[in-house]
Structure 1
Amino acid sequence: MGDDVLSPRIKALFESDDPAASEARLWAELRKDGTPLIERCPDDPQACLVTFLWKADRPVEQVRVVETVSGLPPQRRSLAPAPGTATRFLTWRIRTDVRTTYSFEIVDASGVEHVPDPYARVREAHDFAALATPGVPPLRSVLVCPDAAPLSWADRRPDVPRGTVVEGTYDDGRQVWTYLPPGHDEPSAPLGVLVVLDGHAGHSASTVLDNLHAEGKILPTAALFVQQDDRNKELACDAEWSRHLAEDLLPWARRRHPLTSDPAATVITGCSLGGLCAAYTGLTHPDVFGGVLMLSGSVWWDPDTLRAYARLADPTAAAADPAATVVGGRSRTPVLIDEFMRADPVPTRIYQEVGTFETGPPPATPGQVHASRHLRDVLTLKGYDYRYREFAGGHDETWWRSRLGDGLIWLRGSGADA
Structure 2
Amino acid sequence: MVLNQEKTQSPFVSNFLANMENKEQALKDFLNDIRLRGTPIIEICPNNQVFKLVTFIWIGDSATTNVHVFGSFPGWDISNSRLTNIKGTEIWYKTYRTNETFVSTYRFSINDQFKEDWVKRSKNYQNDPFNKNTFLYVKNSVDPESKDSLTSILELGMTLDNNDTQTQDYSKGNLEIHDFTSAILNNERRIWIYTPSNYLDKETPCKLLISYDGRPTMTTLKAPTILDKLIHNKEIPPVVMIGINSVNRFQELTFNHDFIKFLSNELVPWVRNKYNVSKDPKDNIISGFSLGGLASFFAAFNHPEIFGNVLSLSGSVHWKKEGYEGEIPWMLQSFKDNKTLPIKVFMEAGILENKPLLDSNKNLHKILKSKGYDVQYNEFLGGHDDIWWQNELPQGLKYLLNN
TM-score (norm 1): 0.82
What is the match of residue 378 of structure 1? Answer: 367
Of residues 109, 134, 145 in structure 1, which corresponds to 2:156? 145
- Tell me how far apart the structure 2 counterparts of residues 209 and 42 of structure 1 sit (CA, whole Å): 46
Please tell me whether residue 340 in structure 1 is matched to residue 351 in structure 2.
no
Q: Secondary structure at the match of 1:190?
A: coil
Aligned-residue Cα RMSD (Å) equals 2.9
Runs (5+) with no aligned partner, structure 2: 115-119, 183-187
- Tell me how far apart the structure 2 counterparts of residues 126 and 331 of structure 1 sit (CA, whole Å): 38
Q: Secondary structure at the match of 1:255?
A: helix
Of residues 74, 96, 101 in structure 1, which corresponds to 2:105? 101
* Per-residue deviation, 1:106: 1.2
* Per-residue deviation, 1:290: 1.6
- Tell me how far apart the structure 2 counterparts of residues 26 and 68 of structure 1 sit (CA, whole Å): 27
For residues 171-210 of structure 1, what are the structure 2 equivalents within 5 Å?
171-172=181-182, 173-200=188-215, 202=219, 204-210=222-228
What is the match of residue 168 of structure 1? Answer: 178
Mean CA deviation greater in 380-389 or 255-264: 255-264
What is the match of residue 10 of structure 2? Answer: 7
Instruction: Classify 1:355/1:165 alpha carbon distance in 2 versus 1 (closer, same or farther; 3 Å).
Output: same
* Per-residue deviation, 1:88: 1.5
Instruction: Classify 1:63/1:406 alpha carbon distance in 2 versus 1 (closer, same or farther; 3 Å).
Output: same
Q: Secondary structure at the match of 1:254?
A: helix
The C-alpha deviation readout for 1:295-327, integer Å capped at 9, x for no partner, is 111111123489xxxxxxxxxxxxxxxxxxxxx
* Per-residue deviation, 1:54: 0.6
Please tell me whether residue 397 in structure 1 is matched to residue 398 in structure 2.
no
Q: Secondary structure at the match of 2:346?
A: strand
- Tell me how far apart the structure 2 counterparts of residues 388 and 45 of structure 1 sit (CA, whole Å): 32
TM-score (norm 2): 0.85
Code of the aligned partner of 1:168 = H
Code of the aligned partner of 1:335 = W
Of residues 338, 354, 359 in structure 1, which corresponds to 2:354? 359
Of residues 75, 83, 86 in structure 2, which corresponds to 1:79? 83
- Tell me how far apart the structure 2 counterparts of residues 12 and 105 of structure 1 sit (CA, whole Å): 27
* Per-residue deviation, 1:197: 0.6
Instruction: Classify 1:224/1:108 alpha carbon distance in 2 versus 1 (closer, same or farther; 3 Å).
Output: closer
Instruction: Classify 1:399/1:45 alpha carbon distance in 2 versus 1 (closer, same or farther; 3 Å).
Output: farther
Code of the aligned partner of 1:165 = L
* Per-residue deviation, 1:143: 1.4
Instruction: Classify 1:182/1:22 alpha carbon distance in 2 versus 1 (closer, same or farther; 3 Å).
Output: farther
Please tell me whether residue 267 in structure 1 is matched to residue 285 in structure 2.
yes
Q: Is the 8 A contact 1:269 1:275 kept in 2?
A: yes
Please tell me whether residue 276 in structure 1 is matched to residue 286 in structure 2.
no
Instruction: Classify 1:139/1:71 alpha carbon distance in 2 versus 1 (closer, same or farther; 3 Å).
Output: closer
Q: Is the 8 A contact 2:68 2:112 kept in 1?
A: no
- Tell me how far apart the structure 1 counterparts of residues 175 and 50 of structure 2 sit (CA, whole Å): 43
* Per-residue deviation, 1:189: 1.7
* Per-residue deviation, 1:90: 1.0
Of residues 13, 22, 25 in structure 2, which corresponds to 1:21? 25
What is the match of residue 136 of structure 2? Answer: 125
* Per-residue deviation, 1:279: 0.9
Runs (5+) with no aligned partner, structure 1: 307-329, 361-366
* Per-residue deviation, 1:283: 1.9
Q: How many residues were matched structurally?
A: 380
Instruction: Classify 1:105/1:220 alpha carbon distance in 2 versus 1 (closer, same or farther; 3 Å).
Output: same
Q: Is the 8 A contact 2:351 2:379 kept in 1?
A: yes
What is the match of residue 116 of structure 1? Answer: 127
Instruction: Classify 1:167/1:269 alpha carbon distance in 2 versus 1 (closer, same or farther; 3 Å).
Output: same
* Per-residue deviation, 1:83: 4.5
Code of the aligned partner of 2:350 = G
* Per-residue deviation, 1:378: 0.9
The C-alpha deviation readout for 1:30-89, integer Å capped at 9, x for no partner, is 334432122244565653221101111333221111122445743432222234532211
The C-alpha deviation readout for 1:388-409, integer Å capped at 9, x for no partner, is 1122322222211211111112
- Tell me how far apart the structure 2 counterparts of residues 147 and 19 of structure 1 sit (CA, whole Å): 36
Code of the aligned partner of 1:24 = K
- Tell me how far apart the structure 2 counterparts of residues 108 and 385 of structure 1 sit (CA, whole Å): 46
Instruction: Classify 1:160/1:90 alpha carbon distance in 2 versus 1 (closer, same or farther; 3 Å).
Output: farther
